Amino acid sequence: MRSASLQYANALADIALEQGAAEPVLKQLSEFGAAFAESAELRTFLSTPGVAREAKHGVIEKLAARMGASKIIRNFLFVMVDNQRTPLLPDILEAFQEVIRRRQGVAEAEVSSAVNLSDAQKTQLLQTLERLTGKKIQAKYALEPELLGGAVVRIGDTIYDGSLRSRLNELRARLTAE
């Protein structure tokens, strides 16, 4: 089903980027996704084949109006309902976020460090990562005291390990090999 989610995400990204509305569409889809995740009743209603399509459209119309969602989101949700894809909404939302980031040349980095980084260190790290990847970096930071010092950065499948723990392990391996 991952390919179906990606197809829907790509279709929505095509429209959102064409109309210059990527950020609002992402925000609105995230809001609807949160409502969908919180309400078992909504999930069941939209996913049940026995409920008339018009009834589902009516609920989406009301929710979209209440949330101030755009016509793009409303129509996208109609298509999902019509094709019985509402259970895929969480996967589609995740895929959409990824597709938008990729198309806008943005990469997400997970930065783990032994201590809190200062704003200057974060800025310097982001600049270095942007130079290395050629992309704009959005970073999420986490503390991992077991690193002892330094940081580990994960961007997609690539890991940059500048931790003291890693260097000590390398030194240990070299000393035991000699």
Domain end among 46, 72, 102: 102
Q: In the chain, how many domains are there?
A: 2
Q: Are 63 and 126 in a shared domain?
A: no
Q: What angle do the packed helices 22-38 and 53-67 form, to 10 degrees?
A: 120
80 in Cβ contact with 89 (< 8 Å): yes
pLDDT of 150 reads 84
Q: Are 171 and 159 in a shared domain?
A: yes
57 in Cβ contact with 78 (< 8 Å): yes
pLDDT of 1 reads 46
Distance from C-alpha of 73 to C-alpha of 79, rounded to nearest angstrom: 10
- Six-digit token string for 86: 């509402």
Distance from C-alpha of 154 to C-alpha of 139, rounded to nearest angstrom: 10
Domain residues for the domain of 173 are: 106-177
109-139: pLDDT as tens digits = 999 998 999 999 999 999 999 998 999 999 9
